[in-house]
Every structure is written in C-alpha cells, then in structure tokens.
Amino acid sequence: MTAVEVVGRFAPSPTGSLHLGSLVAALGSYLFARSAGGRWLLRMDDLDAPRVVPGVAEDMLRTLEILGFDWDGEPVWQSRRGEAYAEALEKLDRLGLIYPCGCSRGEIARIASAPHGMADEIAYPGTCRDGLPPGKEPRSLRIRVPGEDISFMDGIAGCTRQRLSEVCGDFVVRRADGLFAYHLATVVDDDAAGVNQVVRGADLLASTPRQIYLQRALGMTEPAYFHLPLVTGPDGGKLSKRESAVSLASGRNLERDGGALLLLALRFLGQPLPDLPAAAPAAEILAASVSGFRHSSIPATGGPFPA
C-alpha cells in the first residue's frame, strides 16, 4: 500500500498581529507536517470581515517568511470562497439538517440554562427547531445536532468526548449578518485542500466535535487532530488578539532575533534544541528542528512563554 501524504496547515485570522501563541501554533503544525515529509499549507481565515484589520494579513506573511517558514502553493483566502460554503450549506439543507433561527444572543441568554460550553457558551435551547415562533423573523441558520456523543482521539489530549446537544445545542452555520460561520468554513476548506492533519491550539479542542459532526454530515474524511498547549499571559489566561497580546515584532528585530525566538518556542513545545547558536538564521534553526522533532515530548499543559 502507498503511504498517504501528510497535509497540514496553519490558518491564522488577520484580526490582529501574530503573537507568541500564534508562533507556537505555526511551529507545531509545521514540525508535524514537515517531519513526516508532508505538505504545509497556509490559509488566511479572513471570513469575519468586520474584524479583519487592513494590512495584517500581509504582515503575517512577511513575519512567517522572516522566521523561515515556507509553505506549499499559494495561500488560500476564506473571503474568496463564499461559493464553496454556499454549496455546503445547500447540501445540509437537502439533508434536512438546517433551519432558520430568529433568536438573538440576548434572548438565548435569558431563557437558556447556565453556561457550560466553551468561553462561557450557552447551549441553544431549540426555540426555533420546530419552526419560527409567531412574530419571529429568520436571522441565522442552525444545524440540528444529535443527542449522542461525538468522540475522537486527539494526538495530544487523548480521547475526547462531547455531547453537542448539551454543550452547545444546534449551532449556527450562517450568522445573522449573512456571514458563514467559522466551523462550516474551516471544514469545507480543509476538505477542499486535502488537509488530513490539523495541528492547532488547545483553545479549539472543545469546538472540534462540532467540526467532526459537520464533516460526517457532509461526507468528508476526518483529519487527525493535535491540540497544542497554550501560551498563557501574566494572569494565567491564554494569549489572544482580543486581549491585546503583544505582537511578535514588538520590541524585536525579527531579522536578527528570529532564530532565538524559534529556540524559545521549541523549548515551550518540549523539543530538543538544534546544535546551533541563537544568532543562527531562523531558517537554519527551523530546518534543523524538523529532523529532531519528537511528538511525544510535547507537554500536555501550557504555561508562560520562556523568557
């Protein structure tokens, strides 16, 4: 039998500059794919147009290049793939899985039970599942979720099990503002690109069952998942663009110090450091780290970025 080529990807959202958590995600996905002799793709998740910051995507590409990352093919831009998402939505509609919802977030918060999903998420109570109540106008589109568990084996976190009906309920696949939802777009793009290995931060572990459910509903092949430990800030919470995480380039000359920064990221991921000085070019350090990559050395939990 011919071995299946590994296809990984890095998919940042250009809503803020790359930060240390972004670097760990990029490096981890790169090492997983390249150490297996596979391809590494780049996608700009710029679907949420109101939050996209002009010029940030181009800055991300330049930053990755300075740090020695090389990707296969041209970057994919989600903002240009609306037709593909619409086709997936039409298929879900033909399967009888989606329905219009007229509820606002405030209404859901008032009538639903206590938060228990990701980021204090409240499970949708199914108000519009059997038809729009009198007086409600359609806003978003939701997908019906099953009452049984969705389970998968994560390459770092281990066996993960979730009952969508309890954690999130029927979730949105097209937003009230007309934009396609992240979960739908990401599975459509991964499938179209042949991505079979998804390596990303552990903050997305809880949303993975939703994506697996969509993949199964759309007849897609499920990729292997690996969720990396998160870089935490001074308060112990994860770094995020919404919380104004410091840009990689802030206070640094990446042309000069990029290699040293990669060495710190390698240490965070528990990887052996290549026998190269910190002043070596970033591309050399990155190339050397591929051959020494050890999946089993990645820590299960995150923490502060090494100083």
Catalytic residues, by residue number, are 241
CB 239 within 8 A of CB 20: yes
Q: Which helix (H) or strand (E) holds 40?
A: strand 39-44
> What pairs with residue 151 in β-bridges?
161
How far, in Å, CA of 242 to CA of 17, rounded?
11
Strands (E), 61-216: 76-77, 98-101, 140-143, 150-154, 158-162, 171-174, 197-201
Cα end-to-end span (Å), the chain: 46
Torsional sign, CA 195, 199, 201, 207: positive
The Cβ of residue 201 has, within 10 Å, a number of other Cβ atoms equal to 20
Amino acid present at 244: S
Give the C-alpha separation, 238 to 232, whole Å: 4
- Report which residue type is found at 35: S
The two three-digit tokens of residue 167, written as one number: 């954690």
